[in-house]
Amino acid sequence: MQILHLVHQYMPEHIGGTELSTRWLTSALSQRGHQVTIFYRRSAQDVGWEHRTENGVHVWAAWAGLLPPVRRFLLTFRDPPMMRVFERVLERINPDLIHIEHLMGLPVTLIRSIQQRGLPYVITLWDFWWVCANAHLLTNYGQQVCDGPRAYLNCARCALARADRTWLWPALPPVAGLLAWRNHLLRQVIKGASGLIAPTEFVRHWYASLLRQYNVPTERLLVIQPGLEFAAVISSQRPRPKRPVRFAYIGGLAWLKGVHILVEAFGGIHGSGELWIAGDESSDPAYANRLRARATPTVRFLGKLTRGEVWETLAQVDVVTVPTLCYETFSFIVSEAFAAGVPVVASRLGPLADRVHDGVDGLLVPPGDTDAWRETLQQLVDAPNLLDRLRANVRPPVTPEEHAGRIESLYAQIVAENTRR
């Protein structure tokens, strides 16, 4: 099959879960004999494109100006320069199927072009962007988990808070109208998909209720867990050296990730424990400074890690923590921890309860509850036998090859159905 993957951003400019999963999946599909292409948008001056090949996968990068947040939002509606480049790529590769990884910052008119050619497409629901312009269902004005649009006035309030323009309350109705139109366009994209892929059962359940509102058959929505590329599983039975219990946080340093809850909780720990925090402090310097100001001497800041350094860190720690305050949709750090044989302590929120089995391969804690987090961390410091038992139950995650096998079967089914029409 000739397969085209659309993604909002890609490496080397951006390295995250969606980007890494796209690379792993496309490489695995290429190894299975498929012709695979990636098309993504780059934030850069002027208009242009370039083509390169990575591990047998063709990669097209296109750009048409820089992408500050407001412009990225507006480009959802219209972007003629990007359309011209995309049309050229479509004509060149003539794909059998399109896999949409993400459309943020790309115009929905791309989908019209795909549909005019009679090409089927599938969507991986990496986050909640298809409904929430924030993508994570956490309000900017109250920092609360949101259930979705309410006449889009709450969405407008969120947009004004993000732009630090809360005083522009008369603008709520027109902004709400713009956000409603955005969601109308994205709803048509969802309704036209031949398949929808949820990374976890929580995401499937959340979007299933939405599909019922759209009168879209929920049978199109499948749970296919992403794969993780790792060289080897570090045995979960490896002996734990006699040293302080090492807790690690590896990820983004932002309020919604709840790292401040973790730092505050760790400040009250008694006994022998260390907390290692890895993340890019330049993404939100004020928040990073706040974390450092509250940290005790037993907290180490490792900075931004390379992929190799992530594995080196996981080989040295005893517990990985995920204290998020918003819905994740998968959380690759959980997969990485399990690949390294390390149990996970995570917020009992959204998909994390699908991934971490409380009392088996990790522990679940109420999100944002500093006292509960402190109690749980203290328990692991005081009870090494508990830590050993959790570690013994850790199982390796799905591999890219296993993931590609399920995705390949879905592609074949959809292409066959499209051919019969």
Give the residue carrying structure tokens 């509606």.
Answer: 77
Do 211 and 341 belong together in one domain?
Answer: no
Asked if residue 240 is part of any domain, the answer here is no
Check which CATH number belongs to the domain holding 217 and give it.
3.40.50.2000
pTM: 0.93
Do 346 and 406 share a domain, yes or no? no
Residue 157 lies in a domain: no
Q: Of 312, 288, 131, whose CA–CA distance to 206 is shortest?
A: 131
In this structure, what token pair is assigned to residue 287?
Answer: 């928040």
Domain co-membership, 387 together with 403:
no
Give one word for 79, left, alpha or beta, with left for phi > 0 and alpha for psi -120 to 50: beta
What CA–CA distance (Å, rounded) separates 24 from 19? 9
Task: Look up residue 273 and give its two tokens.
Answer: 């424990």
Amino acid found at 389? R
Residue 152 resides in a domain: no
Kindly state whether residue 282 falls inside one of the protein's structural domains.
yes
In a domain, residue 169? The reply is: no
Q: How many domains does the chain have?
A: 2
Domain with 16 in it: 2-142+182-227+399-420
SS (H, E, C) 235-249: CCCCCCCCCCEEEEE
3-class DSSP string for 161-211: HHCCCCCCHHHHHHHHHHHHHHHHHHHHHHHHCCEEEECCHHHHHHHHHHH
pLDDT score of 170: 76
User: Do 289 and 349 belong to one domain?
Assistant: yes
Are 34 and 128 found together in one domain? yes
Query: Residue 353 and residue 201: Cα distance in Å, rounded?
Result: 10
Closest CA to 293 of 264, 330, 331, 273: 264
| Same domain membership, residue 312 and residue 250 | yes
- 144 CB-contact burial (10 Å; exposed 0-12 / middle 13-18 / buried 19+): exposed
Q: Which two tokens stand for residue 330?
A: 């998968």
Residues 297 and 365 both lie in one domain: yes
Amino acid occupying residue 411: Y
Instruction: For residue 41, give Cα distances in angstroms to 315, 356, 394.
Output: 35, 34, 38
d(CA 223, CA 221): 7
Per-residue pLDDT of the chain (421 residues; tens, 9 = 90+): 999 999 999 999 998 999 999 999 999 999 999 999 999 999 999 999 999 999 999 999 999 999 998 999 999 999 999 999 999 999 999 999 999 999 999 999 999 999 999 999 999 999 999 999 989 998 988 888 988 899 999 999 988 888 777 667 677 899 999 999 999 999 999 999 999 999 999 999 999 999 999 999 999 999 999 999 987 555 444 556 667 999 999 999 999 999 999 999 999 999 999 999 999 999 899 999 999 999 999 999 999 999 999 999 999 999 999 999 999 999 999 999 999 999 999 999 999 999 999 999 999 999 999 999 999 999 999 998 999 999 999 999 999 999 999 999 999 999 999 888 7
Is residue 325 located within the same domain as residue 414? Answer: no
Please check whether residues 92 and 65 belong to one and the same domain.
yes
Give residue 230's pLDDT.
Answer: 84
How distant, in Å, are the alpha carbons of 2, 40, 120, 272 from that of 100? 14, 10, 11, 47
Q: Are residues 221 and 317 in the same domain?
A: no
Estimate to the nearest angstrom the gap between the alpha carbon of 341 and the chain centroid: 22
Asked if 43 and 187 sit in the same domain, the reply is: yes
158 found inside a domain: no
SS (H, E, C) 265-330: HHCCCCCCEEEEEECCHHHCHHHHHHHHHHCCCCEEEEECCCHHHHHHHHCCCCEEEECCCCCCCC
Nearest to 400 by CA among 95, 58, 30: 30
Q: How far apart are the two ends of the chain, measured CA to CA in Å?
A: 18
Q: Is residue 147 part of a domain?
A: no
User: 299 and 410 in one domain?
Assistant: no
Domain annotation covers residue 175: no
Encoded tokens for 277: 């925090």
